[in-house]
Structure formats: structure tokens, C-alpha cells
Amino acid sequence: MEETVILAKKGDKQAFSNLIDYVKMDLYKIAKTRLHSEDDILDVVQETIICAYKSIKNVDKPENFKKWIIKILVNKCNDTYKKKKLDKIPLDEVEDVFSLNSVEFEKLEIDDLLKNLNDDEKLIITLYYLENYTSKEISKLLKINENTVKTRISRAKSKIRNSFKGGIY
């Protein structure tokens, strides 16, 4: 993949296309934590691709490409989020996913895990688990205090854990 980044930096459009194929699923997952509408997700992913293509020369090291494009995506998502003044889904309207005791983890999907979290928690926990960001990296990306990040991760994990009524964990 690093070779592909080097080629894309030199202007190879096919190489850039391959990079997008590689990251698009994660871009979608992250955008979904911030934006509720599929149209909004499509728009920000499109804008991210265009912005990344224009400025790919700014990627300092090829191995940093994914984190770099995620940074662009998160900023685009935040712009859309603020612009549309998206309302947070009230927690009492969130359907409880888990009804009874034991839960088979392997059958759960991301949406199941995130349903009881607010938008900030969704984004932070996704970056933490999906992309292995450290709390320091998340705090720099989102420009919030590192302790705040740690608190939100902890709270989100606690909410996920508590979602399993009498559950395994």
C-alpha cells in the first residue's frame, strides 16, 4: 500500500483510485457516526475524495495516508454537522437492542454497539476501535482535551457494556 501512496503522490490516478477502494469502507463507517443521512454521508465522502486528491502531496509518510484522509473526512463531517445543526437523537427514543440475558457478540453489528451513544461518543469510540487511534491522537484530531477523550471512551464503553442486560460482560 505504501508503494501505491507514493505513486498517487506522483499523480497516478489509478493508484489514487486503489487507495480509495482500500479506505472507503472505513470512511463510510466513520462518517456514519456523525451524520444520519445517507445523502450527507455520500456528500462528505465525495468531498473528502476530491480534497484528498488535490492535496495528497501533503502526506508526509505513505504509512500515514489512512490517518491523513480520515482527518480530512472528520473535518468535513464536522462542517456538515454544524451547518445542518443536526439534532442529537434523544436517548429515550433509542431502541434497546438487547432484550434479555446472554448476547452472542459475534452476531452484533456496529450499529448495535453505537445505538445508545451520543454523536461525540460514537465518533470517538469508532476512531478508537476501528482505526486504533490513541486518545492523544483523537484529542489532536478533534481538538478537544485528552482527558475529555478518555472520559468519553470510558463512558461509551460503560454504556455498551450496560446495554447487555445481565449479559456476559
**Site for other proteins (CB under 8 A): how many residues?**
50
Q: Which is nearer to other proteins, 86 or 130 (CB)?
A: 130
Q: Looking at residues 67 to 126 of the shown chain, list those that interact with other proteins (rule: CB under 8 A).
A: 75, 105-106, 108-110, 112-113, 126
Mark 38-57 with x for binding to other proteins (rule: CB under 8 A) and - for no binding.
Answer: x--xx--xx--xxx-xxx-x
Do 45 and 31 meet the contact criterion of CB atoms below 8 Å apart?
yes
| Distance of alpha carbon 62 from alpha carbon 3, whole angstroms | 8
Q: What angle do CA 122, 86, 27 make, to 5 degrees?
A: 45
The cell numbers describing 127, all together, are: 476512531
Looking up cell 508526509 gives 60
| Distance of alpha carbon 18 from alpha carbon 15, whole angstroms | 5
Q: Which is nearer to other proteins, 99 or 132 (CB)?
A: 132
Q: Using the rule CB under 8 A, which residue among 29, 36, 66, 155 binds other proteins?
A: 29
20 binds other proteins (CB under 8 A): yes
Do 152 and 124 meet the contact criterion of CB atoms below 8 Å apart?
yes
Measured over all CA atoms, what is the biggest interatomic distance in the chain, rounded to whole angstroms? 55
Q: Which residues bind other proteins (CB under 8 A)?
A: 1, 3-4, 6-7, 10-18, 20-22, 24-25, 28-29, 38, 41-42, 45-46, 49-51, 53-55, 57-58, 75, 105-106, 108-110, 112-113, 126, 129-130, 140, 157, 160-161, 169
